[in-house]
Structure 1
Amino acid sequence: MDKLRGMETFIAVVESGSFTLAASRLEMSAVMAGKYIALLESQLGTRLLERNTRRQSLTDAGRVYFDEAKRVLEQVSAAERAVERLRATPAGTLRVSAPTSFGGCVVAPLTATFLQRFPEVRVELDLTNRMVDLVDEGVDLAIRIGDIHHDDLVAKYLCPYRMVICAAPEYLARHGTPQTPADLVDHLCLSHTVWTARNEWRLPGVEGEVRWKRDAILRCNDGYGLRMAARAGAGLLLQPEVLVAEELASGRLVRVLEDYTPEPRPVHLLWRQDLRPLPKLTQFIAHIMQALPEAVPA
């Protein structure tokens, strides 16, 4: 059996706390994971793990071997990255994190065209509004909306993230077109469930700010669901422009209160500082920067 694979299995067992979880992480059976550990212990002539039906713990030899094995695998990984840097063609797996709406509407299609150009690259695109830790979670590139406060990361401005207030023509025909945020009191509004008193949208009103209606007739935790409800005439919708761009272009949704939408927020690319970033990363960044103007409404 491959000794490096055995080391990797041993480290996974220790970090996950069980053979089953380690096997799932490494995409092998728990029986195979046990065989790797047994072979290591046989080769070393000592037990690395003390285990019973309920728990497992490291022996003294296991603690020493764990630290040294991690160091060995880190050196192997560094060697592989060094070789990859020498390759003219980008290759390998690229892990990307992006906000749900922007990632689904903009980043995913751009990723598809990138993969057509560089078939040796594999992309793991994680769409989440959670603030991922690039270092701890092994993420190569993140797209963030809002101001950036990370001195240890490289940040590249992409575009403004605009919001739009819109409704279906049928709804406006029944209820009229609002002229100022104060008119919202007489309208049916749709809202996202993540909007709270802390992060809800505020519209610039004639006299100070006006909050987007809290007493929405429909709340949903998915922007696509809200978009479809607005298309069906359920009410006024406040959503990112990229999410409803097709509906606005086709006339299925119509802009309203254009002078009172929230201020756009900046969108940035973030990646870890590296004097010699891998080709798969540099090419993906270049592709996003070049293709973005056609993907995001002007």
Structure 2
Amino acid sequence: MDRIETMRALVAVVHEGSFTKAAERLQMSPQLVSKYVGKLEEQLGARLLQRTTRSLHVTEAGARYAQRAELLLDELADMDQQLGNFQQEAKGELRISAPVSFAAKHMGPLISDFRQTHPEVTVDLKLNDRKVDIVDEGFDIALRIGRLRDSSLIAKPIAPIKLVLCASPAYLEKQGTPAYPKDLADHHFLRYSYLDAQAIPLNQHLQRARHSLVCNNGDLLTQAAIAGAGIALQPTFIAGDAIKRGELVALLTEHTPPPFTLYAVYSHRTHLASKVRAFIDFIDGYFGDPPYWDGF
């Protein structure tokens, strides 16, 4: 008996709570569903369901097996979908949400190269630093930076996002260069308002600094730092070029916070549209390892 069919039967029964409803979902008879589950229990040597004439209960072993079986079935369906789409040309409108500064600096060439490879796909790119609701707002993909919490969404890591403390040479000449994190209390700090402060080990020292500017745009904060307004904590994809040109100096590099991650987030693993799969495959590795913006 096909092991895949027996797993499908068990997963359907666990989800539906009865053999009859599971049979309707699978478009087979309740007797055959029961036979599949019984055969699976026989193969495993374990009771997966407790049956009485009035009720059906999933055993601990059954719940664990069904959970793993569902993941495996999803992976098999995903593989079939990818193979089925292999000969299909990606086409249609692809709606993407992305962070403002990252997209403005780094996504123009990406979108251009992607469309050269997939000319039948048009891209509607919306720039926003807030966390959009992909499903409710009709996005196919969202690029997000951070440490993602548990979610029903699929999140594919794309690139590490390093943070760097930096200030202009003129500011450091006037105010002094901090040698230790505690020295930050004596400086002006240019704070990004959306930064998850709890995720930054330097936060306790930065909180003691004078917050001379708070802004929700990293490009503006970086420009203010270049102009000598204070010390900024910015991702290297924004500040890297200025550091490379000598307009900013990286500070306390031995205390650099752990990197965040750039993720491509989408709503479904199975039955993924070819345009979405094409973009996910294209962006994977596009920025290099390490990313090109870290080359300073």
| TM-score after normalising by structure 2 | 0.62
Residue 230 of structure 1 aligns with which residue? Answer: 225
Matching residue of 1:48 = none
Secondary structure, counterpart of 2:211 in structure 1: coil
Residue 240 in 1 paired to residue 235 in 2?
yes
Name the counterpart of 1:144. Answer: 144
Q: Which moved more, 1:113-122 or 1:220-229?
A: 113-122
Letter in 2 for 1:272: S
Determine if contact 1:201/1:212 at 8 Å carries over to the other structure.
no
Alignment of 1:123-142 (within 5 A): 123-142=123-142
1:173-184 matched pairs, under 5 angstroms = 173-184=173-184
Deviations 1:90-134 (A, max 9, x none): 221101112233333333432232123323221111222222222
1:217 to 212, 216, 220: 212
1:290 to 266, 270, 285: 285
Measured against aligned partners, the alpha-carbon deviations of 1:53-85 in whole angstroms (never above 9, x if no partner) come to: xxxxxxxxxxxxxxxxxxxxxxxxxxxxxxxx6
Deviations 1:166-222 (A, max 9, x none): 111122222221111211122222223445xxx3367546xx942344532223332
Judge conservation of contact 2:184–2:206 (CA < 8 Å) in 1.
no
- Cα pair distance change 1:169/1:98, threshold 3 Å: same
Partners in 1 of 2:199 and 2:136 — Cα distance?
34
User: Which of 271, 291, 294 matches 2:266?
Assistant: 271
Unaligned runs of 5+ in 1: 1-84
Gaps of 5+ in 2: 1-84
Instruction: Give the SS at the match of 2:284.
Output: helix
Counterpart of 1:119 in structure 2 is 119
Matching residue's letter, 1:148 = L
Give 2:275's aligned amino acid. Answer: K
After the TM superposition, which parts of structure 1 deviate over 4 Å for at least 4 consecutive aligned residues? Answer: none
Aligned counterparts of 2:183 and 2:239: Cα–Cα separation in 1: 23
Q: What is the TM-score when the length of structure 1 is the normalising length?
A: 0.62
SS where residue 244 of structure 1 aligns? Answer: helix
Give the match for residue 172 of structure 1: 172
Distance 2:193 2:201 in 1: 22
Q: Tell me the equivalent position of 1:106.
A: 106
Percent identity of the aligned residues? 36
Instruction: Give the letter for the 2:217 counterpart.
Output: D
Aligned length: 210
Residue among 229, 251, 256 paired with 2:251: 256
Q: Which residue does the alignment assign to 1:200?
A: 197
